[in-house]
Amino acid sequence: MAEKQSIFGRIAQLARANINALLDSAEDPQKMLDQLVRDYTNNIAEAEQAVAQTIGNLRLAEQDYNADVAAVQEWGQKAVAASAQADRYRASGDAANADKFDNLAKVALGKQIAAEGEVRQSEPLIASQRETVDKLKTGLAAMKDKLGELRSKRDSLVARQKSAQAQQTVQGAISSINVLDPTSEISRYEEIVRREEAQALGQAEVAASSIDAQFAELETSGETIEIEARLAALKSGTPSSAPQVAPTQVTPEIGSGTGTQDAPTSGW
């Protein structure tokens, strides 16, 4: 059972590793950063709505507080007016109306006390809401500052990514140039041309030697034909067609003091 659990655990770990590898390879930093900016912008929008609602509740509480304060003042003024009227009736001997207005003054004072109670209860709530609103405003301002930093970092990282990609492209081109160096290609082509030139020279030499051999063979053939022709003339007794070679004049020897010239003698 432990072995099966170990196998299942390894399979699960392998699956997680493959999924994480796929996610890592599929992640585009620019797209992920853009999505992060969008998410944070949405969070700020939600925070703004919450702060706006809290501020709205505070303003309503402040309006209610101000209304209670106004009610305190109003009921106090009514109590004063009713009491003064009761005093006037009592001074004139009208006790019934005097008691009536005293009772109205008491009612006004009761209303004033109730309004004062509302004011006292509202004061700590309003103070707490104001503190909350201040904190929310501070937090919202910090979030907006963070959003500005996030956008700046996004732009910086995207610029760095594009620069890195450009460098990779350049390095790839340089690597390919190093592997296929144009100068080495030129040298290779030059070697091919040199071989073709050498082959052309060889063919020219071969052609020249062939022509010389043909002329030599022609001369040899002509000499053989001449010999055969002369031999045939000798055997047939016909005059030879060979050209007559005339002897050249020989310079006579100068004798010692005689001044005479000896005729040349022939050995034939």
Domain end: 153, 180, 207, which one?
A: 180
In this structure, what CATH number is given to the domain that contains residue 80? 1.10.287
Structural domain contains residue 145:
yes
Q: Is 180 exposed, middle or buried (0-12, 13-18, 19+ CB in 10 A)?
A: exposed
Structural domain contains residue 125:
yes
Q: Tell whether 142 and 39 lie within a shared domain.
A: yes
Distance CA 265, CA 39 (A): 137
Q: Tell whether 176 and 187 lie within a shared domain.
A: no
**Which residue do the tokens 């004798």 mark?**
255
Structural domain contains residue 198:
yes
Structural domain for 113, as ranges: 10-180
Q: Tell whether 17 and 50 lie within a shared domain.
A: yes
3-state secondary structure 85-122: HHHHHHHCCCHHHHHHHHHHHHHHHHHHHHHHHHHHHH
Q: Tell whether 147 and 229 lie within a shared domain.
A: no
- Domain count across the chain: 2
Q: What is the pLDDT along the chain (268 residues), one digit of tens a residue?
A: 545 557 766 666 666 666 656 555 556 777 777 888 888 899 889 989 989 999 999 999 999 999 999 999 999 999 999 999 999 988 998 889 989 999 999 999 999 999 999 999 989 999 999 999 999 999 989 988 988 888 888 888 888 878 887 888 888 777 665 555 556 567 777 778 888 888 888 777 777 766 666 666 666 666 677 676 776 777 776 665 656 656 666 655 554 444 444 444 444 3
Structural domain contains residue 199:
yes
Sign of the alpha-carbon dihedral angle for 170, 175, 178, 179: negative
Q: Tell whether 46 and 105 lie within a shared domain.
A: yes
